[in-house]
């Protein structure tokens, strides 16, 4: 019903040469994957990645997109620019962008609605910090972030938007949420989608990934959980064997 989606988030890693090398190794390793496979790469690697995965089952993703068509937004990138390079998916609202670059629920929503309107598929990141978890605020934070991201998103778009639940305390730390905990927390997010769009839409059309130190050792257990529809993979996406 919900096809699993595994997406790599390369972050600020890999030069052009390294992009060719990594994808050259990855292509045959995932050729028979049942899951949808996506690599989200830095802007400077998009062209090379597009060439390296041409004609394969790997899809191309970016790590951010601006809401304006064009203009005086130094350092930003537009949906049209990404589409022209063959980009299909785009990560929006990653916790590193929320933490270091002033991303808010409002700017996440502007990026999401623009991406959808242009035909890009957002991978929207939500997740609580350790402090929020320790203060019992997980549900409050996830409901706020999810409702914020989906403001003005119509039900017809639900097949084109993926959510990544990424507890901030698990990103790049080696600490993973237990599979049961990740599953139960994702159920909260799916419940929020159900309130907005109905149970059937939430169950059948919205894929929710887990992200946060997912690796070859814990992937199987996480992927076996009924609520978890795939992974957003940071560190382990930089090694072809680990990612595959
Ligand atoms: C991420 O940043 O999206 C992520 C999940 O990173 P890592 O797998 O390295 O924790």
pLDDT digits over 182-221, tens only? 999 999 999 999 999 999 999 999 999 999 999 999 999 9
Q: Is the shortest distance between the CB of 116 and ligand 1 below 6 Å?
A: no
**pLDDT averaged over every residue in the chain:** 97
Q: Catalytic site residue 94?
A: yes
pLDDT digits (tens, 9 = 90+) for 35-76: 999 999 999 999 999 999 999 999 999 999 999 999 999 999
CA of 238 to the centre of ligand 1 (A): 11
CA of 198 to the centre of ligand 1 (A): 30
CA dist 69 and 77 (Å) reads 9
Q: Is the shortest distance between the CB of 8 and ligand 1 below 6 Å?
A: no
What per-residue confidence (pLDDT) applies to 94? 98
What per-residue confidence (pLDDT) applies to 24? 98
Q: Catalytic site residue 166?
A: yes
For 229, counting Cβ atoms within 10 Å of its Cβ (0-12 exposed, 13-18 middle, 19+ buried), the class is buried
CA of 8 to the centre of ligand 1 (A): 9
In angstroms, the Cα distances linking 67 to 42, 75, 87, 144, 165 are 18, 13, 16, 21, 23
pLDDT digits (tens, 9 = 90+) for 216-236: 999 999 999 999 999 999 999
Percent residues over pLDDT 70 in the chain: 100
Take atom 3 of ligand 1 and give the residue whose Cα is closest: 234
This prediction's pTM: 0.98
CA dist 175 and 152 (Å) reads 35
CA of 201 to the centre of ligand 1 (A): 27
What per-residue confidence (pLDDT) applies to 60? 98
CA 236 vs. chain centroid, Å, equals 14
Take atom 4 of ligand 1 and give the residue whose Cα is closest: 234
What per-residue confidence (pLDDT) applies to 176? 84
Average confidence (pLDDT) over 122-149: 97
CA dist 127 and 211 (Å) reads 9
Average confidence (pLDDT) over 20-37: 98
Q: Is the shortest distance between the CB of 235 and ligand 1 below 6 Å?
A: yes
pLDDT digits (tens, 9 = 90+) for 73-130: 999 999 999 999 999 999 999 999 999 999 999 999 999 999 999 999 999 999 999 9
CA dist 12 and 182 (Å) reads 26
Which DSSP letter does residue 172 get? T
What per-residue confidence (pLDDT) applies to 1? 81
CA of 77 to the centre of ligand 1 (A): 22
Take atom 6 of ligand 1 and give the residue whose Cα is closest: 234
Q: Is the shortest distance between the CB of 63 and ligand 1 below 6 Å?
A: no
With b for 16 or more beta-carbon neighbours within 10 A and e for fewer, the 10-24 pattern comes to: bbebbeeeebbebbe
What per-residue confidence (pLDDT) applies to 3? 97
Q: Is the shortest distance between the CB of 28 and ligand 1 below 6 Å?
A: no
């Amino acid at each position: 019903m919900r096809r699993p989606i595994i997406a790599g988030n390369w972050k600020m890693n890999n030069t052009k040469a390294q992009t060719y090398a990594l994808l050259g190794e990855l292509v045959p390793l995932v050729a028979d994957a049942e899951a949808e496979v996506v690599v989200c790469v830095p802007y400077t690697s998009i062209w090379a990645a597009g060439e390296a995965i041409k004609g394969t089952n790997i899809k191309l993703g970016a790590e951010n997109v601006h809401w304006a068509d064009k203009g005086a937004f130094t350092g930003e990138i537009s949906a049209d620019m990404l589409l022209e390079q063959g980009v299909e998916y785009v990560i929006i609202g990653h916790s590193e962008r929320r933490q270091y670059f002033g991303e808010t629920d409002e700017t996440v929503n502007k990026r999401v609605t623009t991406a959808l309107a242009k035909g890009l598929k957002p991978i929207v990141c939500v997740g609580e910090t350790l402090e929020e978890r320790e203060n019992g605020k997980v549900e409050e934070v996830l409901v706020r972030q999810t409702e914020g991201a989906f403001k003005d998103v119509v039900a017809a778009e639900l097949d084109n938007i993926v959510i990544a639940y990424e507890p901030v305390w698990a990103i790049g730390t080696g600490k993973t949420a237990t599979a049961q905990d990740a599953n139960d927390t994702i159920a909260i997010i799916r419940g929020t989608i159900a309130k907005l769009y109905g149970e059937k839409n939430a169950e059948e059309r919205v894929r929710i990934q887990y992200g946060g130190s997912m690796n070859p050792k814990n992937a199987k257990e996480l992927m076996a959980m009924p609520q978890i529809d795939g992974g957003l993979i940071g560190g382990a996406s930089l090694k072809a064997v680990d990612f595959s």
